[in-house]
Each structure stands twice: as structure tokens, then as C-alpha cells.
Structure 1
Amino acid sequence: MSRVQRLLKEMQQEAQTTHKMLERVPDDKYDWQPHPKSMTIRQLTTHISELPTWVTMVLTTDELDFANNPYTPINVNGTAELLDLFERSLANGESSLSQATDEQLEPMWTLRNGDQIYNKSTKGEFIRITFSQIVHHRAQLGVFLRLLNIPIPGSYGPSADELGF
């Protein structure tokens, strides 16, 4: 199995879990946040939903410089819109990755804010980092949902909610 095929398989597997988590967000909780320093559920879930498009960005650019490209999230106002955004982002990322070659994963890619470099790694490594970011933020969402007393779906096996604990 090629590196691209392994990344694509991982992307598809994680997408199933991410979809299950996103579909649990109630329409009336998008402005909720557990702490003033935390993102709102809208900000967090929009970020999660947009991250699959980073695969395309990484494959087609050499860097992302936040100083020249400020983040402007898409505004979602409900779970149906959120899931649509996620599915469109996923299709975008999967399409780009499925057309890539292992050789296209080798060039360096940089994430920066002006002169401050956050990460410099190969494109393949950064695509993996993108997947890790999705999992990281998905876990944050799980905490948010738990605090709202919303049952959590399992990620890599059944959750306590699914087991009846």
C-alpha cells in the first residue's frame, strides 16, 4: 500500500468518527462555550469541518502564512449546515489526496505567521498533522458535549454512553 493510500484510508476512517461527533451538536448550542478562553461550539465545529480542505492546500501550496491569509471561518447556524460543510470539505480533501502521488508528499511545507514558523515538515507529514488536529479538536468537542450532558459516540471502540455506563 502506498503512503497516499495509507493516508487516504486513515482520512476516511477518522471522517466516520468525526461525522458521528458532529451530528450530536444540538442546533441551540452553537454559541455555547465552557469557558471564556474556549471557542464556542460554532467556532470549534466549523474549524473541525474545514480542516479536511487543508489536505488540498498542503498538496497545492508551499506554505500557509497567517500574516498574509487571515482565517475567515464559514458561518454555520445548525447541524445540517455543519454536516454539509464537513462532507464538502472531506470530498475536497479526499479528491486531492486520491490524485496525489507519494512523490508529491516529499516537498517541504511551512505553517507560519510572518517570521514565526509554527511547523516545517514534508507535505506528507503535515497531512498527518492535519489529521491529528481533527482528532484533537474532536476530543475537545467530546468534552463540550459531555459538559452539556449529550451522549458521546465511540471513537476507537464503544463509549461509556454506548456501553450503558
Structure 2
Amino acid sequence: MEIIKMFLKEFDEEAQTVRKMLERVPNDKYDWQPHPKSMTIRRLATHIAELPAWVTMALTTDGLDFANNPYEPVVINNNTELLAYFEKNFADGRAQLAATSEEVLEQKWVLRNGDAVYMTNTKAEVVRVSISQIIHHRAQLGVFLRLLNIPIPGSYGPSADEVEFELQEQE
């Protein structure tokens, strides 16, 4: 399987799980955070929803310099906005990925803050990191939701909440 088809398959599969997780975020808990060093649910969920845009950025630029492009997250206030933001970023990232070539994926991409270089990778590696970051932060959100006693959807099979529900249905 060529790398672009592999990335598209994984991107699509992970998006299904992201949607299920993001829709569980309670509108009245956007400012909740489990610890002072943790992000709020708003910040974490927004970050998850914006990460597919990193695929677009990786494929259409040679890098990101925070010194010239300070990070300014979009303010999301409810699930409707959150899911729409995710869908917009996902659709754009997926379209860029589907239209790219192996040659583009081999090009270098640099993340920096002025003279400080954080990473230099191929664009393919940045796509991989973007998908990994979606998975990583989605798992963090699952912990946040669990702490709020909100049932968690399964990611790669049923969650404990889904198994418990199935067992109750069988009784």
C-alpha cells in the first residue's frame, strides 16, 4: 500500500473516533480543567479539532516559525462550533493529502521559533506526527471526560462503558 493511501485510511478511521469523542464534550464544562497545569476542556478539544489543519500546513508550506506566526487558538464555545471546526479542518487536510504526491511528502519541513529549531522532518513525518497528536490528545480528552463521569466511546474496540451497556442490555 502506498503511503498516501495508508495515511488517508488512518486519517479517515481516526476522524470517526474523534467525532464520537468531541460530541461528548459537555457544553457546560468548557472551562473545566482537572489540574492547574492541564488545559481546559475548551483548549484541549479545540486543539484536537485544529490538528487536521497541520496536515494542510505540512503539505502546503515549508515550515512554521512561531516568531512570525504567534499561536492564536480559535475560541470555541459549544459542540456545534467544535464539530464544525473539526469537520472544516479535517476536510481540508484530507483533500490536501489526497491531492499530494510522494515527491511532496519527501520534502523537508521545519518547525521553529526564530533561531530555535524545534524539528526538521519530511512532510510525510509531519503528517504522521499530526495524526499521532490527534490520537494522543484524544486520549487526554477521554481521561478528562472519565473524570467528569461521562461515558467514553470506544476507540479501537468497545470502551468499558459500551461493554457495561451491552451487558445491561443482555440482562
TM interval, short-chain normalised: over 0.9
Task: Give the secondary-structure state (helix, strand or coil) at the position aligned to 1:110.
Answer: strand
Distance of 1:95 and 1:127 partners within structure 2: 13
Q: 1:6-155 maps to which residues of 2 (within 5 A)?
A: 6-155=6-155
Taking structure 2 as the reference length, the TM-score comes to: 0.94
One-letter code aligned to 1:35 = H
Taking structure 1 as the reference length, the TM-score comes to: 0.97
Task: Give the secondary-structure state (helix, strand or coil) at the position aligned to 1:45.
Answer: helix
Distance of 1:141 and 1:148 partners within structure 2: 11
Distance of 1:42 and 1:5 partners within structure 2: 32
Q: CA RMSD in A?
A: 1.0
One-letter code aligned to 2:48 = I
Which runs of structure 1 show a deviation greater than 6 angstroms over 4 or more consecutive aligned residues? Answer: none
Larger radius of gyration: 2
Structure 1 gaps of 5+ residues are none
**Residue in structure 2 matched with residue 158 of structure 1 by the alignment:** 158
One-letter code aligned to 1:58 = A
One-letter code aligned to 1:56 = T
Identity %: 65
One-letter code aligned to 2:114 = G
